[in-house]
Amino acid sequence: MEKTQNTTLQNPLDKYPKPPYPAQQQEFPGLASKMDPLPDHGEKSYVGSNRLQGRKALITGGDSGIGRAAAIAYAREGADVAINYLPAEESDAQEVIALIEEAGQKGYAIPGDITSEDFCQRLVEEAYEKLGGLDILVNNAGRQQASESIADISSDSFDATMKTNIYAPFWITRAALPHLQPGSVIIATTSVQAYDPAAILFDYAQTKAANVAYVKSLSKQLGSKGIRVNGVSPGPIWTPLQVCGGQPAEAIPKFGETAELQRAGQPAELAGIFVLLAANEGSYATGQIYGAAGGMGHP
């Protein structure tokens, strides 16, 4: 069915559920389908206009949250999309594949753990083969576990956060580079935590600052090759990451309350940025970080 864009004037304060949210916790990595209220990834609202016709995208963490919003938008803009996620997230991933196919595009599910260098290499090769090319790489998967004190962060947990948020984008990007032609783009999901770190996100915030440096440095390496590298910096967004250890349990009901827009953001509210950074319209943007944070943080 042909969808039309809702152009009615919308008050951002009232557009989505506001705190207090129902208290809830899930085991890592969590499922979007078990969240209450369900996040909006643009399933019912995103309308494409062929801005990415024929593109081939790989999105890590494409099963849920911000990555799912990007996957839906890319497919509705005409791209084929491969998503990576953890095996425990298969049901969320299958919902995304169905949405990509409903948009008339090819969707490929490639489960696996990106804390393994070996798997990262295989992920890129499999995505490249299945898609028949690669021109949009979105390093979006992330791990966030809150801790009151540095004393409570085990070396294993610190290591898993570093591997997921810093090593994996390095391994995946290095493997993808030989496949990327001029006009291709790389997008990283950073965070307001890079600029205004919370006390309880000591390890995670460092990785998000590293993601900003990844964008700034790599864009300088790849500019002369015609490959753009940019970052998206979300504020508090209603996703599984937050309800499976990303925030202390007691913080979930008031999540996003201190944002100027007085609520958590929804993944769908970031989709347009991922599209802009991938599309030809964004051709002069490289080394930039685009924010959507409800008035919090920088840039």
Residues that bind Mg ion (CB under 5 A): 63-64, 89
Candidate segments 49-57, 177-185, 217-225, 239-247, binder of ligand NAD by CB under 6 A: 239-247
Beta-carbon contacts of residue 27 (< 8 Å; ≥ 6 apart): 244
* Catalytically active residues, by annotation: 204
Distance of alpha carbon 44 from alpha carbon 57, whole angstroms: 21
Give exposure, 252-277, as e/b (b: 16+ Cβ within 10 Å): beebbeebebebbbbbbbbbebbbeb
Which residue from 17, 21, 29, 58 is in contact with ligand NAD, where contact means CB under 6 A?
A: 29
Which residue from 41, 99, 140, 268 is in contact with ligand NAD, where contact means CB under 6 A?
A: 140
Going by C-alpha positions, the residue among 186, 190, 206, 189 that lies closest to residue 198 is 206
x-marked contacts with ligand NAD along 159-198 as a string, rule CB under 6 A: -----x------------------------x-x-------
**What value, to the nearest 5°, has the Cα angle with vertex 172 and ends 169 and 176?**
130
Q: Least distance from C-beta 4 to ligand NAD, angstroms?
A: 27
Beta strand spans in the chain (E): 56-60, 80-85, 107-111, 136-139, 185-189, 228-234, 289-292
8 Å CB contact between 115 and 164 = yes
User: Given the structure tokens 């964008």, which residue do they identify?
Assistant: 215
Residue 230 found at the interface with ligand NAD (CB under 6 A): no
Two structure tokens written together for 247: 């925030």
- Segment 64 to 123, residues that bind ligand NAD, using CB under 6 A: 64-67, 84-86, 89, 113-115
Q: Least distance from C-beta 103 to ligand NAD, angstroms?
A: 20
Which residue from 236, 245, 282, 294 is in contact with ligand NAD, where contact means CB under 6 A?
A: 236
Residue 242 found at the interface with ligand NAD (CB under 6 A): yes
66 or 192: CB nearest Mg ion: 66
Which residue from 239, 263, 274, 294 is in contact with ligand NAD, where contact means CB under 6 A?
A: 239
Phi, psi (degrees; rounded to nearest 5) at 231: -130, 155
Number of residues that bind ligand NAD (CB under 6 A): 30
Two structure tokens written together for 218: 């790599």
Interface positions with ligand NAD (CB under 6 A): 29-30, 61, 63-67, 84-86, 89, 113-115, 140-144, 164, 189, 191, 234, 236-237, 239-242
